[in-house]
Structures are given as structure tokens and as C-alpha cells.
Amino acid sequence: MVKLTKSGSFVQPGSNRPTLGRPTALLLYPPIYDFALYDLFLKPYALLRLAAWLSRSGYCVRLVNGMDFTDPHSIAVLGRPRREARGTGKFFRQIVPAPPPVAVLQRSYARYGIVAESLERRIAAERPDIVFVSAGMTYWYPGVMEAIRMVRKIFPKVPVVLGGIYPTLCPGHATAHSEADAVIAGPAFPRLNDILRQRSLPTGEPPVDEELLLLPEANWQAGVLRLNRGCPLDCAYCSSKVVEPRFLPGKPDLLFETVREMHRRFATRSFAFYDDALLVNKERAFLPFLERISRSNLSVAFYLPNAVHLRYLDRACALSMKRARFAEVRVGFESAGLEFHTTLDNKLVTAMLADGLEHLLQAGFAPQSITAYVLAGMPGQDAGEVELSIRHAASYGIRVQLAEYAPTPGSALWSQAVRDSPFALEEEPLTHNNSILPMRWRGFSLEDLDRLKALSRTLGGRTAV
């Protein structure tokens, strides 16, 4: 297995199978239960970052990927998922009954990921001294609980540590229901070292760089990257500051070496950025990275599933992105309403969309390679406002995609969401799922949402997911 050193070079830590004197850490990426799921560059990034630190700290590191779309037994049972050349696509899917709190939605609910028999077999093949489970969206916790119960069944005495977005935003629920021995809410350090020390396991200095252990089990047909950590903005509908309180600029040379190594080892050509604020301080990190990519002979393409802030998108940046072979650009437009931005995020004025699009088009991006996200289903938001925003963005000839609001604990809008939602948001994280339209009211119904989705596809062209 290859990992990045602090200097940005790569070293070979040797066999990743258990060896005498080295404890084994098992990293578990659980299946996901949801109404819909598409692999838009979905990877166990947090676990791979943890893996690099564990390897450096003296552990043998193993990954069980419950979302592995190449699992032979699951293919035999369910058929091969349809995948795209860029490394995105469908996961294995099994229809299951929807839990009562969200059964109100008349749509199929499913378990995504490898079949349970394969997951249990993969876990049982390991000999861990400690198990780390990563949890994504708050409403994905059923898969987390399934995975932890499997570990409990197979290794009843092995400690299980749960971290990620779900326990960070819903620590009380995770502590009460997950059955993990330790729940980490927020940044992993110093809590993680305390947990390891209590169990007489090796510890180390907190990681300072975005290093990843490039474990093959993560399926590197597509790569994922993060240059900067956190976000300096404080949007009322976002809980990013709860998950990562600080904004930390990244190291462009280290990121370039990560791209080059993925490309060399796995022939990875498609890379997606996980950043919440990729263009902030772009002169210090992002633009130098783009310059290194442009000077290289790497045959790669870059994607922006999280979108970028229009405020920081100038002509020089657009030109650099085009030279560095960005295949698409997604921007966070959110709304055409001035009051929306004045009240909720203060991150742009409507005119910034026109300015940003002009920079992108002059740099050579085709209109259909540009997507504007429009937020829908916010507390008290009227469907008419969303329709106006869709029509405004689509008038530029670009793609438009609805970003459906999911209430997030810790955000400035959380208390209003709890007060106004017809669902028990505080008691049941399943009700945070944007598929059920948690903030539905007479001014914004499920029928309105379906109509607006169809409108965005019609006016802006069908957005590639």
C-alpha cells in the first residue's frame, strides 16, 4: 500500500496483512439505505485519510468496502451495476421496506451496497484489534447500525469506534443507538488518541496534511481529492462549521503528487473535488495546483460535485481550470432572490452568475458543461421563488439542477426547521432525508418539487448526475 509522506513523496509501508507486534485496524465503509443513490464520486475519503495516519502510527490497515460495486457474489445475486467510463454510476440495490418514520413517501426504499452475506464474509476474514466505522449523512445511520452489529456478532470483544457526519451532527442519537464502544463527534483529534491510549494501542501526532492511504479496495476508477479543509463562509443552511470548525488551506504540491500516484497505480483519469470552498485563497493553493497539472502530461479530467462559489470565480481562474482539463463546472447559485442571499448566506448577488458564466464561456467551457445548483425546499420557501430561480439560471443556456434542502443540526436554520417541519427532526434523523421534503407546507408540496425537477430538466437540459 502506498501513502504520502509529509514531504509529498511516497513510501511503501510493506505488507498490509497482520504482522507480529503491529496491531490491525479494520476500516469499515457501511452500506447505505435511502430512496435513491447514485455514485457521483462517492468514496470513503475520511476512512482513507484515517488509514494514512494509522499506517504512519504503526498499524496494519484493512478496508472493508460495503459499497464495492465489483463484488463477485453480489454480481451473481443482483447483476452487475451500470457504470460510466468516468468511474461513476449505480450501486447494487435491494428493495426493502421503508422505516415507519419515512414510509409516508410512496417511493421504493432500498439497501445499496454489497449483499449482507458478502459484507459479513469480508468482515470475518479479518483479525482486527480495533474497528473504525465511517458514517455519512445523518439519515444513513441504518447501514451504520447493520455494519456495527455484524462486527459485534463476529468479534464481540473488539472495540468499535464510530466517526463521521452522523455522530458529529447527532451525537446523542449515535451514542444511544449505534452500539459503538466510542462515538467521535466533530474532529477526530484529540479524542481518537484518548480512545487508543485507553486500550493500550499506538497513538501519534494529529495529521496536518490531506494524506490518503490508496487502498485498492476503495475502487479507484475515479479519484477523490480535497485541497482545503472547512469553509470560511457561514451559510445558514449548512453545518460545515460543525463538522470542520476551521478553514485550512491545502498544499498544491501534495495534491498533485496524489493525483499522479493514483493515475500511475490505478490508471485513474477522473478526479472529483470534495472541497466546500475550493476557490477561497485560490492564489495560494488552487491556482498553483492547476499550473502543475497543466504542465504535466497526465491524461486526466476534473469534476466539481460540490460546486464552487461564484464570488471567487474570475477570468484567470476559469482559464486555468480549462487548461487543467476540467470536464465540467458546477456553481452554487442557490437562488435569484436578493433577500435569500442577504438573509441566508451573503455569498453572492444575482449579477455574479452572469459574470461567472461569461468568464467560463470565454475560457472555452461549453454551456452544457456548466451546471448551476438551485436550492429547493428551504424552511418557509415558496415554490414560486424556486421556479423563478430555475428560469433565471436556465436563461443563460446552462444546465440547472435542484439541490434539495436537508435540515442539518447545528446550522443556523435548524431551530426554524424543527419548529416548522411536520416531521420529528430532533428525535429521528431519518426525517432529515431530503427525498421526503422535510419542510413541506402548503406553499411547497411534493407535487411542487416533482414539477420543479421536471422544469429544471426541460429548461436547462437534462443534467448529468
Full set of structural domains in the chain with CATH: 3-198 (3.40.50.2300), 221-460 (3.20.20.70)
Q: What pLDDT band is residue 463 in, cutting at 50, 70 and 90?
A: very low
Q: Tell me what pLDDT residue 192 has.
A: 97
Q: Is the dihedral of CA 254, 28, 207, 158 positive or negative?
A: negative
Task: List, for residues 321-376, the tens digit of each pLDDT value.
Answer: 999 999 999 999 999 998 999 999 988 888 899 999 999 999 999 999 999 999 99
CA–CA separation, 288 and 128 (whole Å): 41
Between CA 124 and CA 62 the distance in angstroms is: 12
Q: pTM of the entire structure?
A: 0.92
Query: pLDDT grade, residue 111 (50/70/90)?
Result: very high
What is the rounded distance in angstroms from the CA atom of residue 202 to the CA atom of residue 22?
Answer: 9
Residue from 48, 305, 46, 42 nearest 164 by CA: 46
User: How high is the pLDDT of residue 5?
Assistant: 39
The whole-angstrom separation of Cα 78 and Cα 61 is 30
Looking at residue 349, its pLDDT comes to 81
Going by C-alpha positions, the residue among 374, 378, 368, 384 that lies closest to residue 456 is: 374
Residues 202 and 58: beta-carbon distance below 8 Å: yes
Q: Which of 11, 22, 15 is nearest to 52 (CA)?
A: 11
Query: Do 123 and 154 touch, CB atoms closer than 8 A?
Result: yes
CA gap 143, 135 in Å, rounded? 9
Give pLDDT, residue 350.
81
Residue that has been written with the C-alpha cell 435569500 in this structure: 340
Q: What is the pLDDT of residue 453?
A: 95
The mean pLDDT value for 183-208 works out to: 95
Of 177, 174, 187, 131, the residue nearest 155 (C-alpha): 131
Contact 179, 148 (CB under 8 A): yes
Output the pLDDT for position 249.
93
Query: What is the residue type of 366?
Result: A
Rounded average pLDDT over 232-250: 93
- 326 and 304 Cβ atoms separated by less than 8 Å: yes
Q: Assess contact for 134 and 28: CB atoms under 8 A.
A: yes
Q: How far does CA 289 lie from the centroid of its chain? A: 21
Q: What is the mean pLDDT of the chain?
A: 93
CA-atom Rg of the chain in angstroms: 22
Which tens digit of pLDDT belongs to each residue from 9-55?
333 333 344 455 799 999 999 999 999 999 999 999 999 999 999 99
14, 18, 21, 24 alpha-carbon torsion, rounded to 10°: 100
User: Hey, which residues does 303 pair with through a beta bridge?
Assistant: 272
**What percentage of residues in the chain have a pLDDT greater than 70?**
95
Q: What is residue 63's DSSP assignment?
A: E
Say if residues 30 and 82 touch (Cβ distance below 8 Å). no
Q: Tell whether the model's pLDDT for residue 79 goes beyond 70.
A: yes
192: region left, alpha or beta (phi > 0 left; psi from -120 to 50 alpha): alpha
